[in-house]
Amino acid sequence: MSKINIDNDGGDTDDVKYDKEKETLEKLNKTRSRDYEEDYSDMDTGWAWVILLSSFGTFCFLGCALYAVGIIHLTLIDRYQQSLSLTSWAGALHTALISLTGPLSSTISDRYSCRVAIVLAGVLYVFGYLGTALAPNIEVAIFTCGIISGLAGGIAFTANTIVVGLNFKRRRNLALGIAMSGNGAGLFIFAPFLQFLREEYDPVGFFIILAGIFANMITFGVLCFPRKLERKIMKQRSLNVNSVATKKSNSASCDCVTLKRYWTILSTKPILLLCIASFNYCLAMNLLFIHFPKFIVHKGFSPAQAAFFISFAGIFNIVGRIGAGAIANMENVNVLLLYNTCMLVVVIISIVYPFLAQYYYTHVIYYVLLGTFMGPPFSLVTSAVLHFVGVDSMAVAVGLVFGFGGIGAVIGPVSAGVLIDNGGTYEQSIIAAGSCSLLAAILGCTTMCMKQRNQTIEFTGNINEEQDKMINSL
């Protein structure tokens, strides 16, 4: 096992503060994996399950937010009577920022704790929806509902994933599957309730009640207080960054270390491949779902039937995430293989689907399979990145993967519109999405051939004054 090395470049320093920090870092080197049972015995037990329940609740609200985008769009149109293209910016920004702000969320979680990040997200949601209730025009509503609420969703999504990974080890995959199944549960539970609110209340009342609902996310966030592993990671990060800052005598060096750390992790080949795979996979999923309703109607079915078919994807998304987590938690199961297999199933069914879409049961089977297999590549991201980076770099790696996915989520709907506007068909659009998923699966499979790390709890830091970089691994 490697140790924390400090390169003084052959020079002596009289800086007492730096000497003290050097001594502290050297003491940190004495950590050994055999200390796991003593130092991190609170993982997988006790309050970890309360945090899992809180994470599930937060994901329920995020699932509600994803559904609420459509309801909010209709509410804003009725209230401001503006063009569809202008009004749609609120929903588009909200959806895009949920993934694009992954790196921001991981930075907040890394520096201040996941608890702070989730509470902050709840506060932003409340201010965003209250601001929308009081917005005098659509431009203000786009800012409050699209940007502020979108930032809240992005911060909560990544932090909520990280906090589960920091509190579970033996049952990490199962815990992540249960937590992220909250997305599907939230969609299923809140869908009729939000429609009821829209019908019973005016737009101002609707957004005020929505703000009250999301205030409960603050409560869930408060329950996720940092435990032993997270506190140790934050302490080590602070020591590492302060050591570099002291050596350089430059207050801006802390930000430089953070940026270099992101770059170091991103330049790790397996992480870069997972980021590009996430980009293609999210592009494919958003391209698919934007055309599903019209494609089904185009094939001779009613809009009500289209909604019925698509609802299968939401219900079986819960089954898929929990099932994948349970399977990944078994002994001798290769998480990367499971991760890539699920994407390959999505590829196969999406390429075959357009050619058999004239049959009723084709839609039923397709959306059952799609719902079952499309979720695990998201819920297994944390376990996948931990094959290549340490637990103390997990927050950054997960944020980068989700951030690349957010870019794909923005490009997907745009590319779908360009394809149709230029004479393309819905069948071609779905096949194109399947092709993007295929590229994602190929990139994911490539990571299986790369060197993986041992899944133990230990820390390695390397602070080199000449190269000016920080590498932290498990």
Q: What is the DSSP string of 46-58?
A: THHHHHHHHHHHH
**Lookup: tokens for 250:** 């430059």
- Please give the backbone phi and psi of residue 417, each rounded to the nearest 5 degrees, phi first: -65, -40
User: What are the tens digits of pLDDT across the range 387-446?
Assistant: 888 877 888 888 889 889 888 877 776 676 677 767 777 788 888 888 899 999 999 999
More confidently predicted of 95 and 156: 156
Element (H, E) at 7: strand 5-7
Question: How many other CB atoms are there within 10 angstroms of residue 46's CB atom?
Answer: 12
pLDDT of residue 310: 76
> pTM here?
0.70
Rounded Cα distance, 444 and 412, in Å: 20
DSSP of 117-148: HHHHHHHHHHHHHHHHHH-SSHHHHIIIIIII
Contact at 8 Å (CB) between 183 and 59?
yes
Sorting pLDDT into bands at 50, 70 and 90, what band is 255? low
Rounded Cα distance, 237 and 390, in Å: 13
DSSP of 294-332: HHHHHTT--HHHHHHHHHHHHHHHHHHHHHHHHHHTSTT
How far is CA 159 from each of CA 202, 295, 315, 424, rounded to the nearest angstrom?
33, 35, 24, 39
Query: Does the pLDDT value for residue 38 go beyond 50?
Result: no
Q: What average pLDDT does this structure show over 298-317?
A: 80
How far is CA 312 from each of CA 6, 216, 368, rounded to the nearest angstrom?
55, 28, 6
Rounded Cα distance, 155 and 151, in Å: 6
Q: Please give, one letter per residue, the 3-state secondary structure of 74-95.
A: HHHHHHHCCCHHHHHHHHHHHH
pLDDT of residue 450: 82
pLDDT of residue 68: 65
Contact at 8 Å (CB) between 321 and 471?
no
pLDDT of residue 274: 93
Query: Does the pLDDT value for residue 83 go beyond 70?
Result: yes
Query: Does the pLDDT value for residue 153 go beyond 50?
Result: yes
pLDDT of residue 366: 92
Largest Cα–Cα separation, the chain: 80
More confidently predicted of 96 and 130: 130
Torsion of CA 444, 449, 455, 460, to 10 degrees: -100
Taking all residues of the chain, what is their mean pLDDT, rounded to a whole number?
Answer: 79
Q: How many helices (H) and strands (E) does the chain have?
A: 22, 3
Query: Does the pLDDT value for residue 309 go beyond 60?
Result: yes
Contact at 8 Å (CB) between 275 and 443?
no
Rounded Cα distance, 148 and 144, in Å: 5
